[in-house]
Amino acid sequence: MAVSASPTVARDPDSQAVGSCALTFDDGPDPVWTPRLLACLDEQGARATFFVMAGRAAAHPWLIARMRAQGHEIALHCVRHIRHTEIDERTLRHDTRSGLRLLERLGVRVRHWRPPWGVTTAASRSIAAELGLELVRWDLDTHDWSGDSADAMHARVASGMRAGSVVLMHDGLGPGATRSDCRETVRLVPALLATLRAVGLRPAPVRDLRP
């Protein structure tokens, strides 16, 4: 069964967007699932932000090139997917600088940084300021890593979508994931796009987010 937008919201195709909502994806790029999400977003005329694991990005430069060509924002997640509370400041600085260098080699200049699990410390904030990065979390979590259905995930976040909202999803399988693929995330995206547009919002990368 196809996932549908909330039945309580009627879409007005002539309505003007009054704000934007960011769909964001962590833990990629993945050679199987990221292309499917990119195709889905392209079909819907939507742009998003991909918080990439820099080593995976370096291993799949064609996916980074495709993201850029489609107008998506590429941002930093990490090199090593470790909570900032579990590493010292020197190690964290090295990981972050290494990730930025890997992405620079792919032609990407990063503005936004999402730490693994969204966990930040005083060191995170200090390094972000030092490197000119803005830390980004989220206010709507699909919990797609857990293997829930697209219908369940849509029900979890749809009513909370507001101007300025940031939705967390994953286009890769990271540490802690209890699912074996990203199939339900691919199914979820069109429903989220329909819902946000129905309430007069437009999808936008974090860099263009408008409350």
Q: What is the pLDDT of residue 114?
A: 98
Phi-psi region of 118 (alpha: psi -120 to 50; beta: other; left: phi over 0): left
Q: Cα 6 vs. chain centroid, distance in angstroms? A: 22
CA distances for 211 relative to 41, 195, 200, angstroms: 21, 17, 12
Annotation: CATH topology of 19-208 = TIM Barrel (3.20.20)
Q: What is the pLDDT of residues 149-189, one digit of tens each?
A: 999 999 999 999 999 999 999 999 999 999 999 999 999 99
Inter-residue contact 23 to 47 (CB < 8 Å): no
Across the strands, what pairs with 140?
Answer: 167
Average pLDDT over residues 132-155: 98
Burial of residue 41, with CB atoms counted within 10 A of its CB: 0-12 exposed, 13-18 middle, 19 or more buried: buried
* Tokens at 211, concatenated: 């409350």
- Which of 5-9, 18-22, 133-137 has the lowest average pLDDT? 5-9
Q: What is the pLDDT of residue 16?
A: 54
User: How many Å apart are CA 44 and CA 36, to the nearest integer?
Assistant: 13
Nearest residue to 171 (alpha-carbon basis) of 36, 4, 22? 36
29: preceding bond cis by omega (within 30 degrees)? yes
Q: What is the pLDDT of residues 56-115, one digit of tens each?
A: 999 999 999 999 999 999 999 999 999 999 999 999 999 999 999 999 999 999 999 999
Q: What is the pLDDT of residue 18?
A: 75
Q: What is the pLDDT of residues 5-17, one digit of tens each?
A: 333 333 333 245 6
Average pLDDT over residues 36-64: 98
In the predicted model, is pLDDT for residue 148 greater than 60?
Answer: yes
How big is the chain, counted in residues?
Answer: 211
Which residue in this structure is represented by tokens 């199939």?
A: 183
Residues annotated catalytic, as ranges: 26, 170
Kindly indicate the confidence band of residue 211, based on its pLDDT and cuts at 50, 70 and 90. confident
Kindly indicate the confidence band of residue 210, based on its pLDDT and cuts at 50, 70 and 90. confident
The domain ranges of the chain are 19-208
In the predicted model, is pLDDT for residue 52 greater than 50?
Answer: yes
Q: What is the pLDDT of residue 17?
A: 61
